[in-house]
């Protein structure tokens, strides 16, 4: 009798192991898919926002250098920089001549006339404005891209430059006011 009991117990364990190793249940798979969906719904907008903020840094860098060039021009000439040629004495102002940001990799120019031009990547429209006490710059995202705006100003009253990175997508950043 002990041998037959032993054989039955071994058969029972063998059948039980086969059923245990059958794989994941449908409920377990659905739970995993739902968790992955929730995580991706949270992560993807954050990645897009980080990408747009990184593109904004291009405009911030450009406008900061333009404001510093306006500051250098004022320091040397005791008058406000009111044209791109004034800035070109201290930095090279490059622009994209194409309206398509994909074409901007090959169509750059450094001979800018006027007070409005495209950024070298073609993502922003940059405008320059001057009055008796300041030189200001704004970088507005081009239509078709809902990015973050940037504005900067050089103030003659304090001799300082101020940079304002916009936090809302689209539109123009508010130009900082001089104290």
Mean pLDDT by 10 residues, the chain (179 residues): 73 64 82 94 84 87 94 94 91 82 70 84 90 92 83 93 85 79
Give 128's contacts (C-beta < 8 A, 6+ positions apart): 66, 83, 84, 87, 115, 116, 135, 136, 137
Paired with 151 in beta bridges are 138, 164
CA distance 37 to 144: 29
Name the pairing type of β-strands 150-155 and 108-109: unpaired
**Tokens standing for residue 129:** 């404005």
Nearest partner of 119 among 52, 59, 55, judged by Cα: 59
SS3 of the chain: helix, strand, coil, percent, to 5: 45, 20, 35
pTM of the entire structure? 0.73
Query: For position 17, what pLDDT does the model report?
Result: 54
Nearest partner of 134 among 176, 89, 91, 86, judged by Cα: 176
**Tokens standing for residue 55:** 């593109």
**Tokens standing for residue 150:** 């940037």
Query: For position 80, what pLDDT does the model report?
Result: 94
CA distance 113 to 128: 11
Query: For position 30, what pLDDT does the model report?
Result: 95
């Amino acid at each position: 009798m002990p041998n037959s009991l032993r054989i039955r117990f071994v058969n029972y364990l063998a059948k039980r192991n086969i059923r245990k190793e059958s794989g994941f249940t449908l409920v377990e798979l659905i739970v995993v898919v739902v968790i992955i969906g929730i995580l991706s719904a949270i992560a993807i907008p954050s990645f897009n926002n980080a990408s747009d903020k990184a593109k904004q840094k291009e405009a911030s860098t450009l406008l900061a250098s333009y404001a510093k060039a306006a500051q250098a021009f004022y320091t040397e000439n005791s008058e406000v920089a009111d044209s791109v040629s004034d800035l070109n004495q201290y930095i090279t102002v490059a622009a994209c001549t194409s309206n398509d940001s994909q074409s901007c990799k090959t169509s750059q120019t450094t001979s800018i006339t006027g007070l409005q031009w495209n950024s070298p990547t073609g993502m922003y429209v940059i405008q320059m404005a001057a009055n008796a006490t300041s030189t200001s710059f704004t970088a507005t995202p081009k239509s078709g891209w809902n990015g973050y705006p940037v504005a900067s100003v050089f103030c003659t009253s304090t001799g300082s430059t101020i940079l304002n990175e916009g936090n809302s997508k689209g539109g123009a950043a508010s130009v900082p006011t001089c104290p």
